Amino acid sequence: MRSEKLNVPDGIAGRFSADISLQLFHRMCRVRYFEAGVVDAIEKKELTYPVYLSSGQESLAAALSLLVNDCQIFAQHRAHDIYLCFGGSPERLRDELLGLESGSSQGRAGSNCLQYHENGINMYGHHGLIGENVPQGVGAALANRRQTLCIFGDGSAEEDYVLASLGFAATHKLPVLFVCVDNDLSILTPTEVRRSWNICKVSESFGLPAVDLADDPWALLQIGRELAGKQPALLNCRVCRGFWHVGAGDDGAPEWDRLQLVRTELDRLGLAGPAADTEAKACHEMESVWDRKLSLKR
């Protein structure tokens, strides 16, 4: 069931303008190259605090950030991608990871506790108990009826308070899009070892429309638009984690690399040249942030 094409409509990318396609790609590249700088800083022992890398899942953040632009976000611990795609400053993120006063939370909170409150976005920092952000987002939506994104992982989806939050949002018809970033791993334990049930089925039993979808950014954008009109709703997005749960270690090549798949698709769409320029622009920006040459290892 889990695959890079799960429920992705055929030819979906071709239904979007070149501008949208390149915006999606640009946002993905910014995350990937920013984190190339993080990995380099870790290897050089310049960065010694724990980091939770988003590489591999950045297409979801890119699509969500084009889907909504005035909302409150209750993100999970792994949220460099959400922070950057929704407009957070890479310099402030870098400084937060380094524990500097100029960081997004003055260096006090770190990689897994990112916040951003500008330009119509209110992204609240996570505190490390997985899924804790979900009831908070639901409570906030109840309190102010504002468009809300609750973003959590497939492990968090198993927390009783996350499931209770789905039910409460359904009861009160809250404007919440629940987004499960499903990398099929809790630390290194696969989902099938942990549970027999499916979060989409559970959500539907609460009365929430739910879609299980691979992380194709064009499909995410289209399905996301459809779900946005039916909130509360749940989107389960199948992604591949590029690195370990914490830190910059990895277990070899992931099942698929969405960034490479998007490059290939842009090439097929006749956008290879603009895509290369876009990637170079993102790379250059992050080289400036980290003050070093950056390259992707794969």
Q: Which is nearer to another protein, 134 or 283 (CB)?
A: 134
Tokens coding 242 = 């590029």
Q: Closest distance between another protein and the C-beta of residue 186, in Å?
A: 19
For residue 120, the one-letter residue type is G
Q: Closest distance between another protein and the C-beta of residue 145, in Å?
A: 10
How many CB atoms lie under 10 A from the CB of residue 73? Answer: 26
Q: Which is nearer to another protein, 74 or 290 (CB)?
A: 74
* Residues in CB range of 268: below 8 A, 6 or more apart: 13
CA distances from 274 to 22, 23, 63, 277 (A): 8, 11, 19, 5
* Cβ pair 118, 130 in contact under 8 A: no
Q: Which is nearer to another protein, 13 or 208 (CB)?
A: 208
How far is residue 118's CA from residue 92's CA, in Å, rounded to a whole number? Answer: 13
- What residues does 233 pair with on adjacent strands? 177
Q: Closest distance between another protein and the C-beta of residue 203, in Å?
A: 15
How far is residue 28's CA from residue 216's CA, in Å, rounded to a whole number? Answer: 12
Q: Closest distance between another protein and the C-beta of residue 165, in Å?
A: 5
Name the site residues for another protein (rule: CB under 8 A).
Answer: 72, 74, 105-106, 108-109, 113, 115, 117, 122, 124-125, 127-129, 132, 134-144, 146, 160-162, 164-165, 167-168, 171
Q: Closest distance between another protein and the C-beta of residue 41, in Å?
A: 22
Q: Which is nearer to another protein, 115 or 186 (CB)?
A: 115
Going 76 to 54 to 251 to 254, the CA torsion angle's sign is: positive
Q: Which is nearer to another protein, 9 or 139 (CB)?
A: 139
Q: Which is nearer to another protein, 162 or 223 (CB)?
A: 162
Q: Closest distance between another protein and the C-beta of residue 163, in Å?
A: 8
Q: Closest distance between another protein and the C-beta of residue 234, in Å?
A: 16
| Strand pairing report for 116-118 and 176-182 | unpaired
CA distances from 188 to 162, 183, 184, 197, 241 (A): 21, 10, 9, 19, 11
Q: Which is nearer to another protein, 53 or 169 (CB)?
A: 169
- Which runs of consecutive H residues, i.e. helices, occur in the chain? 18-43, 58-67, 80-85, 90-97, 133-144, 160-172, 191-194, 199-206, 217-228, 258-268, 272-290
